[in-house]
Amino acid sequence: VNQDGKRFINELQTRDVVSAAELKQPGKVGYLVFDTATRKSLKAIETYIKKGLVTEGATLDELADKLKINAANLKATMEQYAKFQADKKDAEFGRADMPRPLTEGPWFAVQVTPAVHHTMGGLRINTEAQVLDKKGHVIPGLFAAGEVTGGVHGANRLGGNAMADIVTFGRIAGRNAAEQPTGVIVPRGQKPEDAEKAAV
């Protein structure tokens, strides 16, 4: 919800869409509101509670007061969400997955706002982590991996793939840089002299 106590988006939209919507809200923030049943079902929430990032209220009125948001709207929003969940249809934003009605107090909220945690786009590399120039030719001796490269994500981040991308291409880049400091890579199954001829 926003500071007016209203939902403003399908919460399961892609990160870029949710972030853009949050930036349009008052204060450029949103609040993830959840109930006790949700807290019990997700152990990860306890970490945020220990860090002091979660606001708790015995009632929605108390939670709204602590967050300085509109209590009447928050209560109406939560009632509507519970109805959508019971009807198995989010008539407002089209959210398909609504596993819990969110009706069991005490209530909790976490303030959320967009932050940079991953960058996409950058240097073009090949499968050997060699950096390519604008024409697609290898730049000898230059290797790259991780967020500095174009990566595997495309137009939107593929959740859970950042570490796989970084570790895989980091290992390839490190191995190739160590084995062939001149930038001449020996592809698997090829003789070193053949690779050197191809590089020339």
Consecutive H or E run containing 86: helix 71-87
In 3D, which of 151, 154, 101, 155 has the Cα closest to residue 124?
151
Catalytic residue of the set 7, 15, 157, 175: 15
Is 15 an active-site residue?
yes
Give the burial string for 70-86 (b: 16+ CB within 10 Å, else e). Answer: bbebbbebbeebbebbe
Backbone angles phi, psi at 190, to 5 degrees: -110, 150
Which bin fits 28, alpha (ψ -120 to 50), beta or left (φ > 0)?
left
Q: Which two tokens stand for residue 44?
A: 């990860």
Enumerate the active-site residues.
Answer: 15
